Structures are given as C-alpha cells and as structure tokens.
Structure 1
C-alpha cells in the first residue's frame, strides 16, 4: 500500500497513482504537533470522549487516527510513505496534564455541552512559535521512522515564492512565505539524517512543466485571493495574492517521479527541470480584449474562466459584470472561482449579476462530486451574493 499523508496535494497525487494501478490511501493531517505529542497512540481519554460524543464530524476529516497514528496497526503494511509540507489546522488544544495535542472544531461545544465542560476544565490552546514548523516536522519524521524503520519515505516540498509568481504568491502553510528562501538546505539535511528519506523539489517539477507550456503564471495558477479594506461601508483598498498550491498540471508529472522511485529507488531531474532565470523577474500583469474575455469565460474550462476573472481586477475602473452574465451558463463550479466573483461583486455590486447567480445556482445544485456539505455551503454563498447585488 502507498500512503499519501498531508493535505489535498497528497490527495491529488494519490489519485494519479491509483489511476496508474497502484493501491493508494490518502490521510489528511492536522499538525506535526498532534503526532509528536503521542506518536502512534490515540490518547485513551480523548478516544473515550470521541466515542461518547460522536465527534468525528468536527475533525474536518482529520480523524484521531490521522492525528496520532497516520497509519494504524490494522492498516495494510506500507510499501512507501509520501508526505508533503501540509498546512496546520487551528485551533489546536493541549491536555493540561497528559500534554497531548489535538485538533477539533470548537463548534463541537455547541453540539455537546458536556464535552465543552471537559475541554475547558482540562485543555488549553497551543500557540506555535513562528518559524518552528520545519523543526516540528523533522521531529515528526523521526517518530515515523521509528515506527516504520524499513519503509521508504518521500517528502514533497512546496513551490518557492518567486517574484514572477505574483501578485504576492500565497501558500496555505502560513509560515512558508517567511521560510521558503532558507528551507531547501533544511530539507536536504533530512536526507542525510534520516535513513531512506528522499525529498522531491516541486521547483524542479514545475520548471519542467513551465519549459513545455505557456510561460505565464496565470496559465498554471489562475486563482487569486483577496483582502479588502473598508471604511464606512466603502472599499478603500484591495490586496491580491496568487494561490500557487493548486497546480492542475503538477500531479501527473509528480506521479511519474514517484513511479520512478518505486521502480528504481531514486528520483532524477531532466535538463528541462531547472529553475529558469525568468522566475526571478517581477510579475507582469496581463490584460485581454473583450472578445478574448468572452471566449475564455465561455470555454467551460476552470482555469480559463478564473484567468479571465482575475484580469478584471487589473482594471477596476471598468465594470465587467455584463460579461459574467452573458456567459453564466458556462461558469464551472469551483469555490476558488466563486471567491473571486464574490469579491468582484463587493467592488461592483451590479444587479445584473443576479442573472449569473440564478444560472450558476442550477449548475452548482447538480454538481455533487464534492459531497452534500460542499454543495450546501456553495449554494449559500451564491444566495448571499444575490442578496448583496440586489440590495
């Protein structure tokens, strides 16, 4: 069994290898803190609380077995363990006397008041020291190696935040923007300190993809996140950052590297997989004529649509809402794209967007691949947006 441990990047990678015929299991993790505090063992008292109050829905898929074991004694023996530098959940709680650390959504307190009493009597909140992530991750790898001394471990790094990936490259691992410049030698040291551990550098993987495709970051990472500044219900500022964590073209190439490792015990990089000098240059915004925007919005392709919407924010003196309304039936269901449209609607609360909301609501209701909770939350955001633009 191949185990993929971390966040959604490992899910994407595992799916690629499963398609290639390998048996794969994905586990989403909460924090290195949890495993380090009780390596391989679920604390008895916490397990009892979990069983008594039925808390599983409050872990956001990060079950106690994921938090404290990752791979349980009852699971199939691992052939390979692949992990990434996953982001941490919050809040994290520490048991006052036993010192184990765990994640649970505090919404569990409203559902189970008795559990709230137990937590407030016995637990406090953990505050991680800034910059301690890699040290805690290294400790976690050491514990994992002790449990599985003969199983190869592959650690997948994160994409560096090069200037060409602007505006302001964004990672879900909060500290990455501060540590990416110094992380590489730290990760490399793990290979010499821990037996049979290999680090895969995403910079090399993405450089190879870049060399064979359009050399614009928007073509690979079209999703933007925004923070608005408001005064007296008036928007006075906007900060945009680019999501460089979800790169659709990455996973098949990375899966090929893992397959090479399974067959040959090593990972090689080609001459094309070298970081290009252009990544060190400042990001250059792109702008499209209206006919090209309509073509992109009508394509039905998620990346094309998001790329077009992202360009709206480079010309905030003009309202492009009409283009969304004209192409509403083609907008893909995607929470990242929806976030961008919601932000644009706050800047330009045009009632015409209500037509887009009505058309997209129908598409979202029929999209069930991500489960009922995803669909419900997605529809609620559309409803909220429609109310906003209609005043």
Structure 2
C-alpha cells in the first residue's frame, strides 16, 4: 500500500495511481506540529472530548487520527508527502502541550467546547518563515517511527516570473521560501535515510514541453483581491494559483511507479526548467467563441481559463457568456471566487441567473462535505443579492 500524506497535491496523484491499479490511501494533514506534539496516538483528553461533542464536521477532513497518528496499522510500502499548507489557527493544550487543529466555528456552535478551550488551551498561528523547520522535525519523527519505509517528498513549483501574474501558493510564505528550499531538500535527503525529493519544477518542465506552452491553460485559476471605495472597485490585484495543475497528477503517478520499481528518482531529458520561465509573463487572450466553448465544456480547468480571461479585458462585460454556460459549469470554489470578483467589477443583474444554475449543481454536490456545500451556497446567495442591487453580506 502507498500512503499519501498532505493536501490535495498528495490526494490527486493518489487517485491517479489508484486508477492505475495501485492500492493507495490518502490522509489530509493540518500542520507539521500536530504529529510531533503527541506522536502516534490521539491525546486521551482530546479524544474523549471529540467523541462527546462530535468534532468531525469541524476538522475539514483532518481527522484527529491523521493529525496525531498518520501512519497506523501495518507499515505501507511507500510514504508520499506533499509540502502541505498549514491550517490556522492551531490550538495548544496548556498542560499537556499537544497541538491540534479544528475550525473555530466549533467554539461558537458548541458552548461546552468553548468552555473547555478557554480553560485548557490557547490559539496561535505558526510563523510562516519557519515552516520548513517544522516540516523537517516532522519528517525526522516520521523517519524514526517508520525506519524501513521509503519516504518520497513532493516539492512545490517555484515562483518563476513567467507564471504571472504574481504566482500564488496556498502555503503561506512559500513566495520567499522557494528560493532557499532546494538546499533544505538536499539536506533532508542527505541526513535522513531513504528520504527522496521529487522536483516538481522538473516534472512541470516536462509537462510544459508537451503543451502549447501557455501558463493560462495549465494553471488557470486566479486569486483576485479587489480594492473598493464606497462600493466601487478602485483597484485589482491578481495572483496565479500554481498548485492546481491539470496534467500533474498523472505525471507524478508515473514517476512514483518508476520509484517503486527502481528505488530511485530519474528524469527525462525534457524534464528541465525552461529558460523561458525566467522571463516576465505575457498575457494570452482568448476570443469570445473560444471562451464560450471552454465555459460550456463542463471541465474545471477550461472553464476557469475562460473566466480568468475576462480580467484581461475589463472594458467589456462578459456576464452574458456565464449565463449561457451556467448549467454546464461544474461546482468549483476557485472558479466561484473569480466569478464573485468579476461580479463586483461588472454589477449585472443577469449574474443572478448564473447563480441559480450553480446553486442547483451545488445542492447535489457532496464530494467535499456539508460545510463546503453550505459555504458555497451561501456565497452564491450573496453574489445573487449583490447582482440584483442589494448588499453582498
């Protein structure tokens, strides 16, 4: 069995390998601090509390067993770790010293949890600049507890200028850490037995060489921050999400298969960092026909590329394209984020029709749990209200 630990960057290749016939398990982690604070078992005081008050809906998949005992039962054949982002805030138990994550909404929804937490815990946010130190400590403990299992670490994409506008990572601080991270990776592989690092820059280089060489199609999702004055948008800052890359999971699956067969990582000649990535990003625009085709494709990445294209031509309102494609566009919180921002730039009552179509899809969407669906629908309601002339919140 191959055990994947981390975030979606571990989840997606796990699914890809499962489709290829491998026995895989995936566990989502909250922070490197949880496991090292109480390795191997859930603290009794926390386990009892969770059982009594039912905390599962407030862990967002990061079960307490994942947080404290990510490797349990029989030893896997391979552990694959992503450089996962940390959930915050974290809680530290004042007397016992263990650290755990839960959504703070549990405190307002469950008065008993609020009382217990106020008595025994304090909240904190780890320093993003020292993430790799925390991760290294977790890695060393994982190595100690599982000495015979090879460990494969999936690195992250570096923030090359060609990945504009302004590359974004969900791991806070990676915009600075990526510059020195390769040396840290080498140190881990040198100091810890049978620990290997798979370089995503090189894997993406291979993907790039096989593609049309447009970052917009490979990484279409934008994080949009708006500046508003008296309800009017006065400024916009866009960042490109470089964590979600359509072809990456299958490429990683093949590399992991090779590692299982040979015990080492090897790269193809084309899997190198192109010189082009060090140049500044040059926007690539889509025509309206192509935009509509992508929006109606039913594919997350194609639809997101089209919506991102709206922001390259803010002089025109493309809401009509969203309305035409609304019943075909899948549920995707990253695309929803872009549409919400666009709806504030171009306040168009027609967007309400798109929100209604999306709501129908969201009501039948169960993959990410009830809290995700609830938050998604609530955001749609706010967007519709704003489009029709009311207040978003």
- Common fold: TM-score over 0.5: yes
Which residue of 159, 162, 171 corresponds with 2:160?
A: 162
1:223-372 paired onto structure 2 within 5 Å: 223-372=221-370
Cα offset, 1:349, TM superposition: 1.0
For structure 1, which segment, 151-160 or 104-113, has the greater mean C-alpha deviation from structure 2 after superposition? 104-113
CA RMSD of aligned residues (A): 1.6
* Residue correspondences, number: 389
Task: Give 4+ residue runs of structure 1 displaced > 6 Å after superposition.
Answer: none
Change (3 A) 1:88 1:369: closer
For structure 1, which segment, 245-254 or 298-307, has the greater mean C-alpha deviation from structure 2 after superposition? 298-307
Q: Could you tell me how far apart the structure 2 residues matched to 1:189 and 1:170 are?
A: 26
For structure 1, which segment, 372-381 or 178-187, has the greater mean C-alpha deviation from structure 2 after superposition? 372-381
Q: Could you tell me how far apart the structure 1 residues matched to 2:364 and 2:127 are?
A: 44
The answer on whether the counterparts of 2:128 and 2:172 sit within 8 Å (CA) in structure 1 is no
Which residue of structure 1 aligns with residue 179 of structure 2? 181
Change (3 A) 1:54 1:293: closer
Cα offset, 1:69, TM superposition: 1.1
Cα offset, 1:154, TM superposition: 0.5
Which residue of structure 1 aligns with residue 22 of structure 2? 22
Change (3 A) 1:109 1:366: closer
The answer on whether the counterparts of 2:246 and 2:301 sit within 8 Å (CA) in structure 1 is no
The answer on whether the counterparts of 2:304 and 2:335 sit within 8 Å (CA) in structure 1 is yes
Could you say what secondary structure the match of 2:95 adopts? Answer: coil
The answer on whether the counterparts of 2:291 and 2:306 sit within 8 Å (CA) in structure 1 is yes
Extract unaligned runs of 5+ from structure 1: none
Which residue of 200, 209, 212 corresponds with 2:210?
A: 212
Question: Scaled by the length of structure 1, what TM-score is found?
Answer: 0.95
Could you say what secondary structure the match of 1:227 adopts? Answer: strand
Q: Would you say 1:43 and 2:38 are equivalent positions?
A: no
Extract unaligned runs of 5+ from structure 2: none
Which residue of 99, 117, 127 corresponds with 1:119?
A: 117
For structure 1, which segment, 352-361 or 59-68, has the greater mean C-alpha deviation from structure 2 after superposition? 352-361
Which residue of structure 1 aligns with residue 94 of structure 2? 96
The answer on whether the counterparts of 1:222 and 1:307 sit within 8 Å (CA) in structure 2 is yes
The answer on whether the counterparts of 1:65 and 1:71 sit within 8 Å (CA) in structure 2 is no
The answer on whether the counterparts of 2:88 and 2:125 sit within 8 Å (CA) in structure 1 is no
1:52-63 paired onto structure 2 within 5 Å: 52-63=52-63
The answer on whether the counterparts of 1:223 and 1:306 sit within 8 Å (CA) in structure 2 is yes
